[in-house]
Every structure is written in structure tokens, then in C-alpha cells.
Structure 1
Amino acid sequence: MEETLLISYKGVDINQQALGILNQVNFELHKGEFIYLIGKVGTGKSTFLKTIYGELDIAGGEATVLGYNMRTIKQKQIADLRRKLGIVFQDFQLLTDRSVYENLEFVLQATGWKNKTDIRNRIQEVLELVGMSNKGYKMPNELSGGEQQRIVIARAILNKPEIIIADEPTGNLDIETGNKIVELLHQICQQGSAIIMTTHNLSFLTEYPGKVYRCEQHKLQGVSDL
């Protein structure tokens, strides 16, 4: 059976503020794949990710994400698309005036969940999955960096997204904690979500293998050996 194609970019050009960032990008993501994006700062990794969730327009070529044509997508469709994606940033972006539980509850309510029992059960499920089942009552500032990132991952998987985008998710963490976060992302990937993760830590690539693409000299290319 053919793998489900979630993202397809063919000959895609990506600009930012009229500057050409990436040219002639060919990229595919299939269900259950784990893909690393590597490359120096400023080579276009985060810019590329922004085109996947509709924050940045495609300048040329053909691009589809979860069936949406990213050249012609409308604003309302972008909101629908983002509900099918999980996004993990390196700076957490948790609501600091709400508990962990309330942070997760807010996302579910904002995406259409209404039944309080369903909401409570789903929050408990994701907290258990990320190893934080006893932390729901805590405020974000009472958690370590690694614990906050686990909550961010829990938030990203609430709606069982087909794709998780993780932009330098270990950038603010120590090495040991970072390893645990990447291990967790791989476990989530094995349960069916495809994952695209940018990183500068090349040791992850050997310890937790995946497909690798490198941003370099305005190109995004698959890497067969490092």
C-alpha cells in the first residue's frame, strides 16, 4: 500500500520581504515519517516551516499541505489547516497566567471541544503520554524548561494532528533534557503523526534516526550521509 502523502512541494520558490530565501524546493512528507531540517542560522529552515502553516506565501512552484493548495489557500482555510497541525516552538509560548490544565483546556475549547468530560479525558491522556500526568495544577513558572516543553508537546498533540512541526524544540534545553524531548517526539511519531524538526544538534540524527534535509545556499536538499 502506498504511503499517505501529507506534504508535496515541487519546484517551490520561497521569498521573504522580496528576498529569495529558498529556490526550487522539492520536498515530500509521508504519514509516520520523522524528518530533520539542518543548516546554519539564516539559511531558511524556519522560513520553510512558515510556508507549511500558511504564515508565509509560496512565490512559485506547486505546494500542497494536507490537501490544501498553498498557492491559492484562503485565510479561513489557513485556520482549518492549522487545526490539523501541531506546532512546537523553542520558546514554549505557554499562557503564563493559567495552569497547565487551563492552557490545554483553552486550546481544546478554541478548536471546538464543548463536552467537559471529553475535554478532561483528553487532557489527562496527553499529559500521561508526555509523562506529566501529575502536573496539571502547576503554573508554567513552576516547571523546569524540559517540563514546559513537554507541556508544549502535549498542547501540540491535543487534536491528534497528522503533522507536528517542531522548530528547534531543544534549543533552550540542556543536552540530557533535549535528548528526552527528541525521544518523546519519536514515540509520538511511531503512533502516527509525521514530524518535521529543525535542529543544530547533529548527534540527534544518529541517536534518533530520521530522514534529513539540509538548508544551504538557497537550496533545501535531502542528505544521504553526514
Structure 2
Amino acid sequence: MIEARKVSKIYKGKIHALQNINFSIKQGEFVYVIGASGAGKSTLLKLLYREEEQTSGRIKIGNTFVNRINHKQLYLLRRQLGIVMQNDLFLSKRTVFENVAVCVAAVSDANDNEVMVRTNDVLDVVGMLNKSDRKINELSIGQQKRVAIARAIVNYPAIVLADEPTANLDSKAALEIMKLFFKINSMGTTVIMATHDSTMVNTVRERVLELSSGELIRDEQGGGYTRYPDNKDVYIW
């Protein structure tokens, strides 16, 4: 589904953000991308959705080589992807419903009824259907993150990319948001998440890609946040 081969990213000043990265991810996997700040986690996600271009190597999603897509065709790639950023941008004067519905209208020719059904469906999935008429600035940070997730999945993407989605949340809200990502993954969607949440990684063991100074130093199925994780560093469900 996703294949990265000998991928490197060098910024101006010869800053090596990523160096010779290799991995393959199958459809339906849940993958944590971990590492210290500056390890290259966000850069890797940006390469996957072509916010940035790799300096060398190749990235393939499905049958598409990401670096070969011209800018006019980028929307075809991004239709396959749902993206949740650390700091989400919303239409502040619009309602929850409108913030999600606009994402359907932007990439499809769905009629008004289809837009309404799809929007309500995903708001129900993320637990925000009862707040669909609220303005974004009336919501808590955790509720806003739920809306961001709804936007990411409203077009039924094969892959969801999430960059530190719980970074600004308290532990209770973070746990609820993580449960949503596991729910989305259980529906068959591939989830790739950059995170610093050691407790969550240790609690729900999934595949771990660990970066250090731009290098992939660990690729482990069912791994913890570190090679020898603290068994006490877990959530009580």
C-alpha cells in the first residue's frame, strides 16, 4: 500500500531531516511514528502527502509514485488521504457541520442530500452529531480535534495521517481521541500517527517506526515507546 525506498530529505544548509529511510506499510495497519523533537516525524508525514518533496529515493502509495505527481494532479493523491494536523485550521465563523461538509463539496460532485448524509455519518462516528450546529469557537480543544478527525475521514480515505493529534490535550481528552483513531483503523483504514504519547504507545501495542536524527532506527511490530518500555507507563482502560 505504502512503500518508501532510500528516502532522504535535505533542507537548505545541508540539514538532513531524513536519511535513507526504507519501510512498507500494508493496507489496514496502524503505525506509530515516534522519536524526539526534530527526529523527522513531521517531515516524513509531509513527504507522504506531498507537502514536501523528497531529495532522493521514492515513495509509492498504491500504484502512484508520489514524487512524479504534478501539482495539478495532487488532489488525486490527497483524495486517498485524510490528514489531521497538530494545529488544525477551521472556518471560525462556520458551524461544525459546515466545517465538515465543505470538505465533501471540495472534492466530489455529491448533491446536497449526499453531503448532508455523509457529514452527519462522520459526525456520529466521532461523537459530535449533537453539536453539529455549534460554532467552532464554542468547542473545547478536544471537541475541535474530533471535528478535525471527522473532516479527515468524511471522504472515506484509505489512509489517515495524523501529526501529534493529542499534543495539546489533557490525558482524558487524549485517551478519547486515541480511541477514535483505533475505531477508524478497525474499519480498515490505514492509520499512520506521529506521536510523543509514550503511555498510549505502551498501552496499545502496534507497529512502531522510530526515528532518530533523521534515521529509521527501529521498525517493530507490537513495540513500545522504547525498546525496553516501562510496564507502569500505561493507561488504565
In the other structure, the counterpart of 2:234 is: none
- Work out which of the residue numbers 72, 78, 85 in structure 1 matches 2:68: 72
Per-residue deviation, 1:84: 1.2
| Match runs of 1:34-53 below 5 Å | 34-53=30-49
- Work out which of the residue numbers 7, 10, 29 in structure 1 matches 2:5: 10
Is 1:155–2:151 an aligned residue pair?
yes
TM-score (norm 2): 0.89
Cα deviation, 1:170-213, whole Å, max 9, x if unaligned, reads 01100110011011101100101100111111111122221001
Q: Which amino acid aligns with 2:45?
A: L
Which stretch has the larger CA shift, 215-224 or 30-39? 215-224
Q: Secondary structure at the match of 1:71?
A: helix
- 2:34–2:211: 8 Å Cα contact kept in structure 1? yes
Which stretch has the larger CA shift, 150-159 or 15-24? 15-24
Per-residue deviation, 1:157: 0.2
In the other structure, the counterpart of 1:174 is: 170
Per-residue deviation, 1:70: 2.2
Partner Cα separation in structure 2 for residue 191 and residue 157 of structure 1: 11
| Match runs of 1:191-206 below 5 Å | 191-206=187-202
**Number of residue-to-residue matches in the alignment:** 221
- 1:186–1:208: 8 Å Cα contact kept in structure 2? no
In the other structure, the counterpart of 2:214 is: 218
Partner Cα separation in structure 1 for residue 201 and residue 72 of structure 2: 37
TM-score (norm 1): 0.93
- 1:66–1:81: 8 Å Cα contact kept in structure 2? no
Partner Cα separation in structure 2 for residue 114 and residue 171 of structure 1: 34
- Work out which of the residue numbers 105, 108, 113 in structure 2 matches 1:109: 105
Q: Secondary structure at the match of 2:98?
A: helix
Per-residue deviation, 1:223: 4.0
- Work out which of the residue numbers 122, 125, 128 in structure 1 matches 2:121: 125
In the other structure, the counterpart of 1:28 is: 24
Q: Which runs of 5+ in 2 are unaligned?
A: 227-237
In the other structure, the counterpart of 2:52 is: 56
- 2:211–2:218: 8 Å Cα contact kept in structure 1? no
